[in-house]
Amino acid sequence: MTVVPITYNVSESRSAGYEIGTVRASDSDSGINAEIIYSIQNNDFGIFSINSETGKVTLAKKLGKKYPASVDYYF
């Protein structure tokens, strides 16, 4: 498995529902074994949401000063 880091910078003025970007994965298997389900690890603040089928990442909440200025998330 190869992991390629992706960095997204999001202004704290963005509202919930703002589309941040899309993460992608591939699998060389076929059939049911090739199914990819996207999820977020360490989403303690519930700031982000991800479409489990498409990998589209959106803001679940409006950002603000109550959240850390920089956070690493793993999708």
| pLDDT tens digits, 24-54 | 888 888 888 888 899 988 777 888 899 999 9
**Phi, psi torsion values for 32, nearest 5 degrees:** -60, -30
Which DSSP category does 7 fall into? -
Sorted by where each starts, the structural domains of the chain and their CATH numbers stand as 1-65 (2.60.40.60)
Mean pLDDT of the chain: 83
Q: Which two tokens stand for residue 20?
A: 């941040």
Instruction: Report pLDDT for 12.
Output: 80
Is pLDDT at 70 greater than 70 in this prediction?
no
The structure's pTM equals 0.78
Instruction: Report pLDDT for 2.
Output: 67
